[in-house]
Amino acid sequence: MSQVNRLNGGLIDQSRSISFRFDDRWMKGHPGDTLASALLANGVRLMGRSFKYHRPRGPLTAGSEEPNAIVELRDGARQEPNTRATTAELFDGLTARSQNRWPSLAFDALSINDRLSSFFAAGFYYKTFMWPAAFWEKLYEPMIRRAAGLGSLSLKADPDNYDKGYLHCDVLIIGAGPAGLAAALTAGEAGLSVILADEDSLAGGRLNAESFAMGQQAGHAWAAETAARLAAMPNVRLMTRTTVLGAFDHGIYGALERVSDHLAVPAEGKPRQILWRIYSRRAILAGGATERPIVFENNDRPGIMLASAMRAYANRWAATPAQEIAVFTNNDDGHRTAADLTAKGVLVAAVIDTRPDAPKGQGYEVIAGGTITNTSGRLGLAQVEVTDAKGNRRQIKCGALGVSGGWNPNVSLTCHQRGRPAWDVDIHAFVPGGTLPEGMVVAGAANGVFSTHAALHAGAEAAVGIAADLGHTAPSPDLPEAEDAPVAITPFWHVSGAKRAWVDQQNDVTAKDIKLAHQENFTSVEHLKRYTTLGMATDQGKTSNMAGLAIMAEVAGKSIPEVGTTMFRPPYTPTAIGAFAGRSRGTDFRPIRKTPSHFWAEEQGAEFVEVGMWLRAQWFPRAGETHWRESVDREVLQTRRSVGVCDVTTLGKIDVQGSDAAEFLNAIYCNGFAKLAVGRTRYGLMLREDGIAMDDGTAGRLAEDHFVVTTTTANAVGVYRHMEFVRQCLYPDMDVQLISTTEAWAQFAVAGPRSRELLRKIVDPEFDMTNEGFPFMACGEITVCGGLRARLFRISFSGELAYEIAVPTRYGDAMIRRLMEAGREFDVVPYGTEALGVMRIEKGHAAGNELNGTTTALNLGMDRMVSTKKDSIGAVLSRREGLNEPDALRLVGLRPVSPDKPVPAGAHLMTKGSAVDAAHDQGYVTSACYSPNLGHQIGLAFLKSGHERMGEILRLVSPLTGIDHEVEVVSAHFVDPEGDRLRA
């Protein structure tokens, strides 16, 4: 039998065996084991190497506070670094590897660091790798990372799903120990909706780890029975394997449920983990307490662990780290470990109690007033050196040592808002203090109430109070008789004179490092943390902070509460990034909006581009076209020659209705709308209140009290928000209503000299389509295809004779097909966003590149549009002196002097002969493209006093890309500057 350190009993199923692998060795464990308990049962104490000195380490704890037994779990894509062996539930076939060792755990070449430890004290990196600065990134950091890394990533996509969920309850109870169970029972019976969450797979907390009786039952049996009762209550949700990670505003808590971490592969359709957001009216924190170690020479050998962990391994998991153990304690609780292990048949060599008045042993030797002054044993504890009260030293043989320095209430969640813990002189520990999160009460050990009896009653009382608060009556529950021992502790933090005594085992911080930090004037506790790394990393100092503070207090000549604690922040335990991402990854990172012609465009083989959340057709390649420019040039030329169709549904559409609609648009747009005739459309420019251009578009007047406003695709949401702000906050009595109809209408631009002929075939015959009957900038409600309601706008972004036609979205797919079919005789072509962009640059129309959040109406050449006859948002500040300097930037066109040269966007303009630097900058290119109509590249640019510099030759420079050649300043209207085509 290989499970040499397996005991009898426990809460595991010893009738069944399961296999697991650690490094190269396959071993057997039982259902109910953790990886750590199964390894201990198999005689394995060495589970990892320390972060900095590569010292051999074993588990210090039996829970989520574990600093040492950190492993890489699973293989392949599910490989997971830095997992605590103490919380990893064993399943058949589980594989794990030790970390931070090479070539093997037993022989680690970098353990040389330990011999060189005198060089590696606190602040070592800061002091040593200062010079030369250039070496840091290239040499020092990679070297340190290799030596000090923890686990490695699989670098493969995680095959599992992570979900997010939202829960509401009257009371959230955090922790299912005696206090939490009693609270849940009371609140549940009072009819409150209750969530009881515990990070463990079993409800019960320490009841599962102790040998206490609860009434006539074993403690764990009472816990199991109570959990079953709670699970049967319809108003109670018992959530095991669920860690409450953080306490947020207004009773909101974050919690992570590990749905499938205990399985090899999640069940069909089940996520790996769920990140819950819990909205609670009240909360009871019953998170228990964590035992703290005592610091002494060589206190980190595998086999040395918290006394409570040793008890948990024996009682719950029927495992012992060794057959012969000793206990080192400063309080009565350590003696429980000796008693329980003795009862389990493990030999207790001695209990070393720092108190001269230590209680007598029950079948084991007690060394009162003794301390442990050293330990020995390669790769695991073999013996301890005890110095007794008289100063005599002796060696005691033992394979494991349980250490108990007292208990710290788990106050973390009480501090996530503004709470700062307070020092309790009776238990020598911090208890919740200051302002707790709204609606939270603390019960049981988390509140410094350590006896089981007191915890049960505190939990029940907390629930009674909350029930009364929420208008319910809670009957006092029938609670069993339970252990009620007083706390008996004399503080003892560290054995003085030690050289290699570990305070923080996860970060390899020694007592000496803390003294050194103080000597170097890092006296604030927050500085101490950052200088020494005490309390950092995955365990966040759950077992180490207190000893660190105590040593700091001692060297500073202060009390512990004067030194204070560092901040506690969420998450309570390490949480995978995948859980925060949930389903928002890959193509599901955010929603995808598809245009009404999307499926048709896909059939045409279109290339798509993301615009905001929209997928828009970028161009439509045809057989034989090998480069995107070929497709785009063809689409542009064919549109300008005959007719092209483009889906422009993505532009924002806002319906504005009411008797004050025109007055409202007068406020929103810098130019006037009050006098716009029904059936006409006008270009409008919106300013921000600071006078900067915000967005542009058109507004068509369909009736006296009805306008349709369009926005750019990117600003649709922001413009709507802004318009609602103006409506509700600035002009609350205007009779005007707004609604976004962007997704209600499928809209297509039909552009080109033959667009009217094409639309004549679509628009029902009773509507006049002649130039006189429906002139440039006309709009109207019409019907198409024999009665389908539609809207028609004669507006043009391309500069051609053009229309935009809108039909209800569900007809969008049919409409694109009808337009293509009807347009065949006119040589119709679909065009994408690239051709759209080329044509608007050829026409000199501003778009997002020009409306870039820094430009004014003046910059855009639209200063005369800002009406002085009326007020509008941004009008006052647009007249600021600083925005109207004589040499302000103006929108111009650019043409390369040598037609084969590019005009890249982002390049800057310099006067010929001037220095190329920011001080001499004349402006910059915002939009550029190849113009197939002109046969060379063109650009739009902002140029100082640009309107007065037509014909000037400038230097176009982009030092990053090596651009440096001449361009000529020209009008931005490259094509049809007179606008004859628009009005044809």
Distance CA 908, CA 944 (A): 12
For another protein, the closer of residues 592 and 739 by Cβ is 739
Residue 581 binds another protein, judged by CB under 8 A: no
Cβ-contact 246, 172 below 8 angstroms? no
Site for another protein in 396-435 (CB under 8 A): 417-418, 435
Residue 983 binds another protein, judged by CB under 8 A: no
Alpha-helix residue ranges (DSSP H) falling in 739-832: 755-760, 812-823
For 14, 18, 485, 732, the CA distances from 33, given in Å and listed in that order, are: 10, 10, 30, 66
Q: Which of 703, 730, 897, 984 binds another protein (CB under 8 A)?
A: 730
**Helical packing angle, 545-556 and 525-532, nearest 10°:** 120
For another protein, the closer of residues 655 and 976 by Cβ is 655
Distance CA 893, CA 895 (A): 7
- Output the smallest distance, CB 688 to another protein, in A: 9
- Output the smallest distance, CB 728 to another protein, in A: 4
DSSP SS3 for 269: coil
For another protein, the closer of residues 270 and 879 by Cβ is 879
Distance CA 701, CA 661 (A): 10
Site for another protein in 934-963 (CB under 8 A): none
For another protein, the closer of residues 102 and 731 by Cβ is 731
Q: Which of 659, 725, 899, 914 binds another protein (CB under 8 A)?
A: 725
Token couple for 390: 């008289």
Task: Provide DSSP, 373-414.
Answer: EEEE-TTS--EEEEE-TTS-EEEEE-SEEEEE--EEE--GGG
Residue 438 binds another protein, judged by CB under 8 A: yes
Neighbours of 77 (CB within 10 A): 12
- Output the smallest distance, CB 843 to another protein, in A: 34
For another protein, the closer of residues 644 and 652 by Cβ is 652
> Which residue(s) pair with 375 in the sheet?
384
Q: Which of 233, 581, 717, 970 binds another protein (CB under 8 A)?
A: 717
Q: Which of 136, 731, 767, 826 binds another protein (CB under 8 A)?
A: 731
Q: Which of 198, 660, 695, 850 binds another protein (CB under 8 A)?
A: 660
Site for another protein in 227-286 (CB under 8 A): 248-252, 279
- Output the smallest distance, CB 691 to another protein, in A: 9
- Output the smallest distance, CB 497 to another protein, in A: 47
- Output the smallest distance, CB 766 to another protein, in A: 38
Q: Which of 163, 385, 388, 690 binds another protein (CB under 8 A)?
A: 690
Distance CA 128, CA 149 (A): 19
Taking Cα atoms as reference points, which of 389, 331, 396 lies closest to residue 359? 331
For another protein, the closer of residues 357 and 881 by Cβ is 881
Return the exposure string of 139-175: e unless at least 16 CB atoms fall within 10 Å of the residue's CB, then b: eeeeebeeebebbeeeeeebebbbbbeebebbbbbbb
Q: Which of 155, 157, 677, 729 binds another protein (CB under 8 A)?
A: 729
Residue 613 binds another protein, judged by CB under 8 A: no
Residue 721 binds another protein, judged by CB under 8 A: yes
For another protein, the closer of residues 733 and 766 by Cβ is 733
For another protein, the closer of residues 297 and 695 by Cβ is 695
For another protein, the closer of residues 437 and 684 by Cβ is 437
- Output the smallest distance, CB 724 to another protein, in A: 6
Q: How far is CA 173 from the centre of its chain?
A: 25
Q: Tokens 């302002």 correspond to what residue? A: 435
- Output the smallest distance, CB 437 to another protein, in A: 10
DSSP E strands in 175-269: the ranges are 194-197, 213-214, 217-218, 236-239, 242-247, 252-257
Token couple for 350: 């001695």
Alpha-helix residue ranges (DSSP H) falling in 190-332: 219-231, 307-315
- Output the smallest distance, CB 245 to another protein, in A: 17
Distance CA 527, CA 530 (A): 5
- Output the smallest distance, CB 170 to another protein, in A: 14
Residue 484 binds another protein, judged by CB under 8 A: no
Distance CA 3, CA 791 (A): 81
For another protein, the closer of residues 733 and 980 by Cβ is 733
* Strands 366-368 and 347-353, sheet pairing: parallel
Residue 724 binds another protein, judged by CB under 8 A: yes
Alpha-carbon dihedral angle through residues 693, 696, 700, 704, given to the nearest 10 degrees? -20
Token couple for 90: 């064993």
- Output the smallest distance, CB 13 to another protein, in A: 43
Binding mask 734-773 for another protein (x = CB under 8 A): x---------------------------------------
Query: Which residues are CB-contacts of 923 (< 8 A; sequence separation ≥ 6)?
Result: 889, 908, 909, 941, 942, 943, 944, 946
Element (H, E) at 238: strand 236-239
For residue 139, the one-letter residue type is L
Token couple for 208: 């599962």
Q: What share of the chain is helix, strand, coil (3-state, %, to 5)?
A: 25, 30, 45
- Output the smallest distance, CB 876 to another protein, in A: 5
Element (H, E) at 28: strand 25-29
Site for another protein in 866-885 (CB under 8 A): 871, 875-877, 879-880
For another protein, the closer of residues 437 and 459 by Cβ is 437
For residue 193, the one-letter residue type is S
Q: Which of 689, 705, 921, 968 binds another protein (CB under 8 A)?
A: 689
For another protein, the closer of residues 507 and 711 by Cβ is 711
Cβ-contact 28, 16 below 8 angstroms? no
For another protein, the closer of residues 876 and 953 by Cβ is 876
Choices 223-231, 721-729, 778-786, 956-964 (CB under 8 A): range interacting with another protein: 721-729
Distance CA 955, CA 546 (A): 67
For another protein, the closer of residues 280 and 410 by Cβ is 280
- Output the smallest distance, CB 99 to another protein, in A: 37
- Output the smallest distance, CB 250 to another protein, in A: 4
Element (H, E) at 463: helix 452-469
Q: Which residues bind another protein (CB under 8 A)?
A: 248-252, 279, 417-418, 435, 438, 660, 663, 689-690, 717, 721, 724-725, 728-734, 871, 875-877, 879-880
